[in-house]
Amino acid sequence: MTLTLSITRKRAFAATALGLILVAGGAVAQQAAPNIMERTEWDNRRLDQLDRNVRRLERALTQRNAAGQPVLVEPDPEVVTLQGQMGLISQRLSDLESTVRRINGDNERLTFQLDEATRDNVALRNRLVDAENRIQKLETAAELNAPIEANSPTGDAGQDLAAAVRLLSSDRPRGVRALETVAITWPNTPQGREANARLGDLRVAANDKAGAVPYYATALKDWPRIGWAGDTTLKLADALFATDRKTQGCAALGEFTRRYAPTANDAQKARATQLRTAGGCG
């Protein structure tokens, strides 16, 4: 009876991993496998010795087969078990790689969808902010362009004027409207006159001296004896000269001389002289 011999030509594996059982004439010869847990330091001498042993083993097997004494070579059961486990591990690794690739693909799709959602949210937020700004501008324009009516938030002319001046420093358009409201609500009071004088100053600051004239004229109606009246009279004369109203400008300077010059400071007197000369007043 002849058995087929299957042997791997890798000599290192044949010398270290296989146990050979030789059956001949009822006697059993078993070659013990080396301890695979011990680390072998391979050098040229050991490799040459391994090569000689493998060749010797091949010759012995060939001679026994030729003599009709077949040799049965059985793999180490532990090696077979290990090979099976390695197969299972390879399959599990392959499955794990497939899962990782699928997860990576899902992550890429989710990232793309998240980026799109973020862009959409930014666009919607920008549109919302723009709409809110436009609505606020419309509301502000409607508020500032509405007819001015007499109204006293505090019921006191002095407090109303002080509140309007404070608002002017933080919100100019609403502050101007507050001054106009004070001027209408308290027309014949020192506070109402001062509100008109301040409105005239705002027109001059905006390079609108023609627009300043009516406010100054209203503030100085009947030429009140108020501390700011003399300075405001000079401002009125300057605005009249700037708008080619020489006669009225010289008349305003005449009122300054008669009513306010006695209590005016040196700067105001010098300003009056300058305006009179520039305006050609006699």
pLDDT of residue 26: 40
Average pLDDT rounded to a whole number, residues 255-263: 94
**Averaged pLDDT score across all residues of the chain:** 80
Which residue in the block uniquely carries the two structure tokens 């004439």?
Answer: 25
Angle CA 64–70–75, to nearest 5: 110
Distance CA 256, CA 84 (A): 117
pLDDT band at 14 (very low <50, low <70, confident <90, very high): very low
- Exposed (0-12), middle (13-18) or buried (19+): which is 49, by Cβ within 10 Å? exposed
Per-residue pLDDT at 180 exceeds 90: yes
Per-residue pLDDT at 220 exceeds 90: yes
Distance CA 179, CA 203 (A): 13
pLDDT in tens, 33-56: 455 556 667 678 877 887 888 888
Average pLDDT rounded to a whole number, residues 186-213: 95
Query: 195: closest CA among 210, 215, 173?
Result: 215
Buried b (16+ CB within 10 A) or exposed e, 77-92: eeeeeeeeeeeeeeee
pLDDT of residue 258: 94
- Exposed (0-12), middle (13-18) or buried (19+): which is 125, by Cβ within 10 Å? exposed
- Phi, psi dihedrals of residue 223, rounded to the nearest 5°: 50, 75
